Amino acid sequence: MSSPASQAVIERIRRYSSHHYERVPIVVDRARGASVWDLEGREYIDMLSCFSAVIDHNHPRITRVICEWREQGKVDNVSNLYNTPVYADFVESLAGFCGMEKVLPKNGGVEAVESAIKIARKWGYKVKGVPADKAEIILCENNFHGRTITVLSGSTVPQYKDGFGPFTPGFKTIPFGDADALEQAITPNTVAFLVEPIQGEGGINVPPIDYLNRVSWICTQNDVLFILDEIQTGFCRTGKKFAFWSELLSAMPDLLIVGKALGGGALPISAVVGRGDVMDVIGPGDDGSTFGGNPLACAVAVEALKIMEEEHLAERAAELGAYFMNRLKQMNNHFQLIEDVRGRGLLIGVEFRPGIAEKFCDRMLEAGILCHETRNNTVRFAPPLTITKDELDMALGKIKYVLDHF
86 touches 295 (CB < 8 A): yes
Give CA–CA dist 134/15, Å, rounded.
Answer: 45
List 144, 171, 226, 244, catalytic entry: 144
Give CA–CA dist 322/392, Å, rounded.
Answer: 12
173 touches 199 (CB < 8 A): no
176 catalytic? Reply is: no
DSSP 3-state assignment of 74?
coil
E strands, 61-134, where?
A: 102-106
139 touches 154 (CB < 8 A): yes
List 229, 240, 324, 381, catalytic entry: 229
List 260, 291, 352, 381, catalytic entry: 260
Q: How many residues does the chain have?
A: 406
Give CA–CA dist 140/158, Å, rounded.
Answer: 15
Give CA–CA dist 257/253, Å, rounded.
Answer: 10
Between helix 295-310 and helix 85-98 the angle, nearest 10°, is 40
| Region for residue 78 given its phi and psi (left: phi exceeds 0; alpha: psi -120 to 50; beta: otherwise) | beta
DSSP 3-state assignment of 226?
strand
Phi, psi of 25 (to 5 degrees): -80, 50
260 catalytic? Reply is: yes
Q: Is the dihedral of CA 173, 178, 181, 182 positive or negative?
A: positive
Instruction: Provide the greatest CA pair distance for the chain.
Output: 64
Q: For residue 57, which of 84, 38, 30 has the smallest C-alpha distance?
A: 30
Give CA–CA dist 99/124, Å, rounded.
Answer: 24
291 catalytic? Reply is: no
- Beta strands 136-140 and 190-195: pairing type? parallel
344 touches 238 (CB < 8 A): yes
Residues with a catalytic annotation lie at 144, 229, 260
